[in-house]
Amino acid sequence: MFACDVHCYPWDLTDEGIGEVLDRLRDRIGATALTLVGACDAVEYFRPHVGVEPRWVRNPGGVFFEIEQDGFAATRIKPPLWDSSRRQDFFGRVSEGCADRKMEMQIRLCLFRSRRIVGRHPEVACKNVFGMPSRYAMCPHHPDVREYAMALIRELHRADNVAGIVLEDASSPRATDAESYWSATSVLNSEPAGLLNLCFCESSQQEAAKNGVDVEAAKRGAVAILDRGCQVGAEPEVDGRNWSDRNPAVARYEAWTQTQWTRLLQELRSSGHKRFVLNAARENFGLSNSKASSWPAEGDDRILLSAFDFVAHQENLEGNSGTEGGFHQIPRSQWELLLPWCEDSPEDAPATVREISRCAEAGMAGVSIDHYAAIREDQYDWIHQGLRRARRITTA
């Protein structure tokens, strides 16, 4: 069957009623799975659901499922628990409700961004080449961060009622926070600005040096490229090479960063048997042309994507983004269209039906809708119509 999973924050379930929301997802929308947010950074959004309070949600983020504290003994980072996760068996009630309705339950994780954790442990924050720490990005090269991520994944692999794990972290965490990065691009071309996303925190520098990378030369090279960008803006490629490719120390540091990130994803994937899904939203990658701070270059992409069973991407297979990086190498049966309803929903019912139908015609596995609380009541029928048509196409 052409699949549809809908992302949902825990408080949207508790505020509207677990059973009521699951019935709505299954009967009004036609969803086959719930993607429950299990860990995230701070979020803020408006809910268009009449009668639901509060209408404006602002949550500091955290971890929203029951955990065994012993599983985090090897790291100083302890999961910042949401108060409601301590309510009596919330996780169990949601999974039981899904099972009763013959719906799967996936858990979505943001492993390497957390204002709460960075606030408690500033030493784990990513730092850009100028030494400026991120307010929320955690360096995956820090041993406590790696162990924290592995421990969260292990917790979910032990849960019998979880069908899959959806990972938000599509690319290595950016050392420069998004707001600061975009302000830099107002004066810098995107290629040199991308170097601001490379992490030069103490852990990254130590690990890179252990692997034979000349870190000091890479730092000097990155600063020189940024200075050059401030002077001239953009320069054409020379012999098919961009600025950082022409600086061997910077190129090697970038390559090392990407290789380590890919290895970490493979370790996370191999730690258990659950379905592993990449949530490849636009904001998660592709901010620059710099290899380590955007989607990996040809050759790296196949290895990275091999860590995932499915990819949910914001463009369909006919879109331009569908052929970038290595997405064209993914079998269509392992591809889902990510519909970010919270920021860019189709304008009307015909557009929704067309968008979903095209996925079925292309042989894609289904659609992934982010997120439930952003869907207006009249839009439930839009999605249901699209899913009915897509399922007729796939069963014809």
Q: Residue 312: which residues within 8 A CB-CB, separation 6 or more?
A: 166, 277, 278, 279, 280, 336, 337, 338, 368
pLDDT computed for residue 331 by the predictor: 72
What is the pLDDT, as a whole number, of residue 328?
56
Q: Average model confidence (pLDDT) for the chain?
A: 84
Q: Is the bond leading into 54 cis (omega within 30 degrees of zero)?
A: yes
Q: Which residues contact 185 (CB under 8 A, 6 or more apart)?
A: 193
> Structure tokens of 330?
């993914």
pLDDT tens digits along 301-354: 556 677 788 888 776 444 433 334 455 566 777 778 888 776 667 888 999 999
Which among 160, 236, 228 has a CA at the least distance from the CA of 195?
228
For residue 302, how many other CB atoms are within 10 A of its CB? 13
* CA–CA separation, 295 and 289 (whole Å): 8
In this prediction, residue 329 carries a pLDDT of: 61
What is the pLDDT, as a whole number, of residue 247?
Answer: 86
Rounded Cα distance between 221 and 248, Å, is: 9
pLDDT at site 139: 97
Q: What is the pLDDT of residue 132?
A: 95
Residues of the chain with pLDDT under 50: 85, 238-241, 282-299, 316-325
Q: What share of the chain is helix, strand, coil (3-state, %, to 5)?
A: 45, 15, 35
Measured distance CA(10)–CA(21) in Å, rounded:
11
Instruction: Report pLDDT for 319.
Output: 44
CATH topology classification for 3-173+273-395: TIM Barrel (3.20.20)
* CA–CA gap between residue 119 and residue 136 (Å, rounded): 8
Q: What is the pLDDT of residue 97?
A: 97
The whole-number pLDDT of residue 327 equals 53
